[in-house]
Chains A and B, each alone.
Chain A
Amino acid sequence: MRRFLWPTVALALIILYPLVFTTPFQQRLGALILLYAIAASAWNIVGGYAGQVSVGHVVFFGCGAYASMAAYSHFALPPMVGVPAGIAASVAIAAVIGVPTLRLSGHYFSMATIAVAELARLIVTNTEFLGAAVGLSGPTVPRTVFDLSFISALPYYYLFLTVLLITLGITWWMTNSRIGFYLRAIKDSERAARSLGAPASRVKLYAYMLSAGLTSVAGALYSMMFGFVDPESGLGILISVKMLIMAALGGAGLLFGPLVGAAILVPLEEISNNVLGGKGAGLTFVVYGAIIVIIARFQPGGILALINRLWAKHKPAEAPAAQGAPHAP
């Protein structure tokens, strides 16, 4: 039972956070951490566990965001009605682009996903139905509670927390199922896994589709919170990069890695912008970038890997159980 102790304590702290830090900005910061944690956790399924570094995940993020905003703009429906459509579109796109691109390995796969993301951005920029270059907006004044347009960040916080728990639950279930074992084998050596009869292509594709569907939910939640999406904010390559950095920084291939990464990077980004942004010298990115470089240089396995290692040194017997997921190499 000890293995559930620390996650339970952490969960209790996360639930209590907005009740302790009550200013609107602190609550919003908490909500943003959870939102980015959802996206980074979704990326983690294919990028961390399967070792397929996708830099085009923003396509799925955009699918979710655009589906929600389109449901409102064109049909006057609550944005959340668009969520299933966004998931369906993402999974379908993942299937279509996954079949040819997942055969590529290493950098070639990453490059192919970038190309797909940029293509999607250009297509949407020229599609009138999706608001072209201007973008689509959501309900500015909530009509009903189903519009999920709140003044306070508190409802968003608990909504995002619920979705994050579901995402992590699915991830946990996956890693402990047959697919999870296949993925780990493929990540270590795809050739060896294939030679032992692991259906590598099929398993990678399933992971990709699952990851795509969950990423699209993150995109939908993003658009509902901010009430707007345009090609740059919904399909800009930087969003993919953010998911990747958060997962890698926290610990790619670890269940709670993306959450730890988001909990470090989101406040870092917001606070450095609050303090330095108004000065107008772009200092924010210098500081933000420097910290990422330092962590990458001294702890390439991610913060969580470091914590796990220190923990293992401290209490050797508890270590493997406490981390809840196998080590990244």
Chain B
Amino acid sequence: MRLKHIAGLLSAAAMSVALAGGASAQQAVKIGVVFPLSGNAASAGVHGKAAIETAVEIINTGSGGLGNLPLTSNAGLKGLGGAKIEVVFADNQGSPAVGQNQALRLITEEKVVALAGAYQSGITLTASAIAEKYGIPFVNGESVAANLTERGFKWFFRVTPVASDFAKIYLEFLKDMKAGGIKTDNVAIVHENTEYGTSVASVITSVFKENGLSIALDIPYAANTTDVQSQVLQLKDKKPDVVIMVSYTSDAILYAKTMQALDYKPPMIIADNSGFSDPSFIKTAGKLTQGLFNRSSFAIGAKGTPTFLINEMYKKKSGGDDLDDTAARQMQGFFVLAEAIDRAGSTDPAKIQAALKATDLKPDQLIMGYKGVKFDDKGQNVLAAGLVIQLQDGENYVPVWPKQLAKTAPALPYKGW
């Protein structure tokens, strides 16, 4: 008798374990995220991690109040019977090899249904290659290297705008300014001379040329330089109407200070994100560069707007830092992936891939200032866009263009200090 009892209890226990196992497998949708959580890009990775965690919290609790943002009004993924999302983070250590190893581990050991990441373009390249081989969707929200979407991949999707999109933003902005009676004919580009500066400058030059606008002056310089007087004097001599600057942080600060020292104020400066968006630039040189234009695809927005509320949630996870453009793009990429999984109503990678291909999000369903999300055959979001922000009243960037996203009108001419 006793043996029978024990056997009965054991089988009951076994059944409940089996059921519990089955139920939890049904519940959580596992997504792998590869970020640089150590190494020299760790800051970007750690902020990205906070952004993804914020997104997961929003999706899993579904407290609502975030406008038309998908997945926010009910707990979990509706299409999968309220299944929660579980994210497995992995550290790429700033190495393409480690990034690929971790992507493989997430796919084969953690059995994730999709991947996101991996910040550095080179690592996104190797990590997405392994996803392609295994047939797992890889959604990237932040890497801008052009070649990522030129590999004929079927499982790779990129939500972020790339250099040519930014060039178009500048072009449209300048056209608009010109229509308003501001002189924009004589454009100069000042750029640092490694990969970032050179490639962005050449893309801007070619996009402008295609649209009948030529770059009158092209000034490359070394980002680790300690003196930019000759470059500033060259600008002062040629008197361009618009100066476009592509710089990292320390050189951006150096330009701001040198311009003040040599008393040079161009009528308009447009900065290409990077150094000019760095909080340390704004703190050291923000007061010297009043009226500087910059690009961004994200604005925190007015109190009570969805982006404002999301930023409040994000600050709790990031230790008080505001959501910056890069972290916001990473978060947007993750939302796009989650929305596709929800719409697929399945964790089958092929169904998620099909759903991603059919993605058609409208501007009011996004946290970024994109015109929407829709992927072309190469997996690039064709509706990716950005907005122009301006440094006004001290140390704040405010959105000034395009009109529907602007908080105030662009202030011209450039004020400086």
A residues touching B (Cβ–Cβ < 8 Å)? 23-25, 28, 32, 125-126, 132-135, 137, 140-141, 151, 222, 226-228, 230, 232-233, 270, 273-274, 277-282, 284-285
Contacts and interface: CB of A to CB of B under 8 A. Distances in A.
B93 A277 contact: yes
A24 B136 CA distance: 15
Given A132-B195, A135-B122, A273-B93, A140 B129 contact: yes
Contact of B46 (A126, A133, A227, A280): A280
A135 B121 CA distance: 10
Contacts of B108: 23-25
A288 to B, nearest CB: 11
B97 A133 contact: no
Contact of A278 (B91, B95, B195): B91
A233 B95 contact: yes
Query: Main SS of the interface on chain B?
Result: helix
Interface in B75-129: 88-91, 93-98, 100-102, 104-105, 108-109, 121-122, 125-126, 129
Contact of B91 (A134, A228, A284): A284
A282 B39 CA distance: 8
Contacts of B104: 24-25, 28
B153 interface: yes
Interface in B147-164: 147, 151-153
A284 B88 CA distance: 16
B240 to A, nearest CB: 27
Contacts of B132: 140-141
Contacts, number: 100
A19 B102 CA distance: 22
B95 A282 contact: no
Given A133-B195, A141-B132, A277 B122 contact: no
B134 A228 contact: no
A109 B45 CA distance: 37
Given A228-B122, A277-B102, 17 more contacts: A25-B104, A28-B104, A126-B194, A134-B122, A137-B151, A140-B132, A140-B152, A226-B126, A227-B126, A227-B129, A232-B95, A233-B95, A277-B37, A277-B38, A280-B42, A280-B45, A284-B91
B145 interface: yes
Contact of B145 (A23, A134, A141, A273): A134
B195 A134 contact: yes
A25 B105 contact: yes
Nearest to A28: B104
B49 interface: yes
A284 B38 contact: yes
A285 B42 CA distance: 13
A13 B96 CA distance: 30
B58 to A, nearest CB: 20
Given A125-B194, A133-B195, A282 B37 contact: yes
Contact of A222 (B97, B147, B151): B97
B133 interface: yes
Contact of B109 (A23, A230, A233, A280): A23
A282 B49 CA distance: 14
Contacts of B105: 25, 274
A25 B147 contact: no
A228 B104 CA distance: 16
B194 A277 contact: no
Contacts of B49: 280
Contacts of A280: 35, 37-38, 42, 45-46, 49, 89, 91
8 contacts: A135-B125, A228-B122, A233-B95, A278-B37, A280-B45, A280-B91, A282-B42, A284-B38
**Which of B100, B151, B195 has its CB near the most chain A CB atoms (within 10 A)?**
B195
B129 A151 contact: no
A151 B125 contact: no
Given A151-B134, A284-B91, A233 B97 contact: yes
A24 B103 CA distance: 12
Contacts of A232: 94-95, 122
Contacts of A228: 96, 122, 125-126, 129
B91 A140 contact: no
B271 to A, nearest CB: 21
Nearest to A132: B195
B327 to A, nearest CB: 14
A230 B96 contact: yes
A141 B152 contact: yes
Given A125-B194, A141-B132, A228-B122, A134 B147 contact: yes
A279 B196 CA distance: 30
A178 B243 CA distance: 68
Contact of B153 (A28, A140, A151, A226): A140
Contacts of B102: 273-274, 277
B147 to A, nearest CB: 7
B125 A277 contact: no
Interface in B351-382: none
**Which of A134, A228, A280, A281 has its CB near the most chain B CB atoms (within 10 A)?**
A280
Given A25-B104, A134-B121, A277-B90, A226 B97 contact: yes
The 6 closest A-B pairs by CB, nearest first: A133-B195, A277-B91, A278-B89, A280-B37, A282-B38, A24-B108
A273 B125 contact: no
A285 B153 CA distance: 34
Contact of B147 (A28, A132, A137, A270): A137
Interface in B193-212: 194-196, 199
B195 to A, nearest CB: 3
Nearest to A234: B96
A237 to B, nearest CB: 13
A203 B96 CA distance: 37
Contacts of B122: 134-135, 228, 230, 232-233
Nearest to B32: A278
A37 B349 CA distance: 36
Interface in B25-79: 35, 37-38, 42, 45-46, 49
A93 to B, nearest CB: 23
B109 A25 contact: yes
Contacts of B45: 280
Given A140-B129, A277-B91, A226 B194 contact: no
Contact of A273 (B46, B98, B151, B199): B98
Contacts of B100: 226
Contacts of A132: 195
